[in-house]
C-alpha cells in the first residue's frame, strides 16, 4: 500500500497524477539525486529523523551535480511535514525526496536541463534489512572512485553498482553485499555504512575511501561515545580485518543499525548479533521516537493538529 499524495514541484498531487515523461533525461542517464528520511510514529506523534541533515546533504549533492534545488532546507522540511499530514500518516514511514532532470532530451549532460523535485512517502517498518543480523559477502563489484562518480552526492545513477552487488549477494545465498573500493579497502554495504570493532575501538572507513557520508554514521559517532563509552577511529579497513573482527555493524537510514553475523561464511562474534550493536540499535530507535532524552535535535515533530494545508 502506498500513501495517496506526493509533493511535486511545489504542489501536492495524487500519486497517479505524478508523472515523468519516458523521454526524461534522468530516467535514461541517472541524472538525479535523492534522499531517504525516516518518520516514526510513537503512538501519539510523528517524528522525522535527521530531516535537516538529509536536506542539507541534498543541497550539497545538487551543488556537486550543478543543479538548482530551488527550495531552502526549511522549505523542504516543512513540505515533508505537510506531506505526512496530507497523507494522514500514523505509522512508521519513509520519505523519498528526488531531484531528477525531467527535460525530454537525448543529450547526455547536466547543464541547462530542468530538474523536477518530488517527495514521495511510503510505509516502512523496521525490517528493511533483518535487524536480528545479516550474513554478508564481499562483492565482486567495486565502489566507484570519486574520479568516476561523485559518491559524496547521492546520485541516482550511482546505484547500479550497489544494485548489482546486492543481487549477486542474494544469488550467492548471503543477505547483503560489502563493496571494496578500487584500492581494495572496505568501502560500505549496498545502502549502508560499516563499522568494525576490535576490543573497545570501532573503525569505520574515512570519507576518502569512496563512501557515502552517511547521516546514521555520524549519529553512531556520538552514540558509540555516549552509550558504549568506546571510541571510533576513521581509517581504511582491509578485507581480512572483516574476518578477524570482534563485531561488525551496518548503519543507514533504511537499515538503521544492523548486526553482521558473518562475512564470506566466516562467523563474526561467534555468529550471533553483537550486544553493543543491539544496544546502539535500541538507543537510536528510542531517540527517533523521542522515548530517550538524548539528542532531541535529531528529530523534528510533525504537528498533526495543523490542517493539511499548513
Ligand atoms: C550507498 C549508501 N551508503 C550509506 C548509506 C547510509 O547513509 P544514511 O545514514 O545517510 O542513510 C546509504 C543510505 O542512504 C547509501 O545508499
**CA of residue 193 to ligand 1 center, whole Å:** 6
Kindly give the number of the ligand 1 atom that is closest to the alpha carbon of 154: 16
Q: Are residues 67 and 208 in the same domain?
A: no
Set of cell numbers at residue 270: 561467534
Compute the distance from residue 62 Cα to the ligand 1 centre, in Å. 16
* CATH code for the domain of 95: 3.30.470.10
pLDDT band at 167 (very low <50, low <70, confident <90, very high): very high
| Ligand 1: lining residues by beta carbon, under 6 Å | 36, 162, 188, 191-193, 212, 214-217, 252-253
| Whether pLDDT at 305 is above 90 | no
Q: Does residue 120 lie within any of the structural domains?
A: yes
Same domain, 271 and 153: yes
- Assess whether 22 and 106 both reside in one domain: yes
**Domain identity same for 154 and 283:** yes
The answer to whether residues 120 and 138 belong to one domain is no
Closest Cα to atom 4 of ligand 1:
192
pTM over 0.85: yes
Which residues constitute the domain of residue 275?
134-288
Place of cell 563499522: 195
Nearest atom in ligand 1 to the alpha carbon of residue 35 is 14
Within-domain flag for 86: yes
CATH at residue 269: 3.20.10.10
Residues 144 and 257 in one domain: yes
Please give the distance, rounded to the nearest whole angstrom, from the Cα atom of residue 66 to the centre of ligand 1.
21
- Ligand 1 atom 7: the closest Cα is on which residue? 214
Query: What pLDDT sits at residue 310?
Result: 52
25, 118: one domain: yes
Specify whether 116 is located in the same domain as 201.
Answer: no
Residue 263 lies in a domain: yes
What is the domain count for the chain? 2
For the stretch 193-215, pLDDT in tens is: 999 999 999 999 999 999 999 99
Q: Measured in whole angstroms, how far is the alpha carbon of residue 299 from the centre of its chain? A: 16
Q: What is the pLDDT of residues 10-58, one digit of tens each?
A: 999 999 999 999 999 999 999 999 999 999 999 999 999 999 999 999 9
Distance 214 CA to ligand 1 centre (A): 5
3-state secondary structure string across the chain: CCCCEEEECCEEEEHHHCCCCCCEHHHHHCCEEECCEEEEECCCCEEEECHHHHHHHHHHHHHHHCCCCCCCHHHHHHHHHHHHHHCCCCCCEEEEEEEEECCECCCCCCCCCCEEEEEEEEECCCCCCCCCCEEEEECCCCCCCCCCCCCCCCEHHHHHHHHHHHHHHHHCCCCEEEEECCCCEEEEECCCEEEEEECCEEEECCHHHCCCCCHHHHHHHHHHHHCCCCEEEECCCEHHHHHHCCEEEEEECCCEEEEEEEECCEECHHHCCCHHHHHHHHHHHHHHCCCCCCCHHHEEEECCCCCCCC
pLDDT at residue 309, rounded to an integer: 56
- Of 71, 106, 125, the one marking the end of a domain is 125
| 139 plus 93 within the same structural domain | no
Residue 304 lies in a domain: no
Q: Has residue 256 got a pLDDT over 90?
A: yes
179 and 246 assigned to the same domain? yes
Q: Which residues contact 50 (CB under 8 A, 6 or more apart)?
A: 37, 215, 216, 219, 253, 298, 299
Q: Do residues 270 and 231 both lie within one domain?
A: yes
The dihedrals phi and psi of 86, each to the nearest 5 degrees, come to: -60, -35
Amino acid at each position: 500500500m502506498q500513501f495517496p499524495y506526493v509533493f511535486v514541484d511545489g504542489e501536492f498531487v495524487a500519486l497517479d497524477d505524478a508523472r515523468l515523461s519516458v523521454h526524461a533525461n534522468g530516467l535514461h542517464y541517472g541524472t538525479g539525486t535523492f534522499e531517504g528520511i525516516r518518520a516514526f510514529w510513537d503512538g501519539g506523534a510523528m517524528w522525522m529523523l535527521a530531516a535537516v541533515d538529509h536536506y542539507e546533504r541534498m543541497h550539497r549533492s545538487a551543488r556537486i551535480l550543478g543543479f538548482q534545488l530551488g527550495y531552502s532546507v526549511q522549505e523542504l522540511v516543512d513540505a515533508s511535514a505537510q506531506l505526512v499530514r496530507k497523507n494522514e500518516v500514523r505509522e512508521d514511514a519513509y520519505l523519498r525526496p528526488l531531484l531528477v532532470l525531467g527535460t525530454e532530451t537525448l543529450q547526455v549532460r547536466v547543464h541547462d536541463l530542468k530538474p523536477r523535485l518530488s517527495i514521495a512517502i511510503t510505509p516502512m517498518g523496521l525490517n528493511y534489512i533483518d535487524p536480528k543480523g545479516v550474513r554478508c559477502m564481499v562483492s565482486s563489484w567495486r565502489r566507484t572512485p570519486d574520479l568516476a562518480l561523485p559518491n559524496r552526492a547521492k546520485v541516482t545513477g550511482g546505484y547500479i553498482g550497489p544494485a548489482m552487488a546486492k543481487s549477486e549477494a542474494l544469488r550467492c545465498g548471503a543477505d547483503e553485499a560489502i563493496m571494496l573500493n578500487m584500492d581494495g579497502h572496505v568501502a560500505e554495504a549496498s545502502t549502508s555504512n560499516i563499522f568494525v570493532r576490535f576490543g573497545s575501538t570501532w573503525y569505520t572507513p574515512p570519507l576518502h575511501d569512496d563512501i557515502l557520508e552517511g547521516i546514521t554514521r555520524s549519529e553512531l559517532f556520538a552514540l558509540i561515545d555516549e552509550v558504549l563509552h568506546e571510541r571510533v577511529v576513521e581509517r581504511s579497513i582491509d578485507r581480512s580485518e572483516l574476518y578477524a573482527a570482534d563485531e561488525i555493524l551496518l548503519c543507514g537510514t533504511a537499515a538503521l543499525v544492523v548486526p553482521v553475523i558473518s562475512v564470506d561464511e566466516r562467523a563474526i562474534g561467534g555468529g550471533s548479533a553483537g550486544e553493543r550493536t543491539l544496544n546502539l540499535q535500541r538507543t537510536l530507535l528510542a531517540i527517533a521516537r523521542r522515548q530517550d532524552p538524548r539528542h532531541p535535535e535529531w528529530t523534528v515533530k510533525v504537528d498533526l493538529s495543523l490542517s493539511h494545508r499548513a
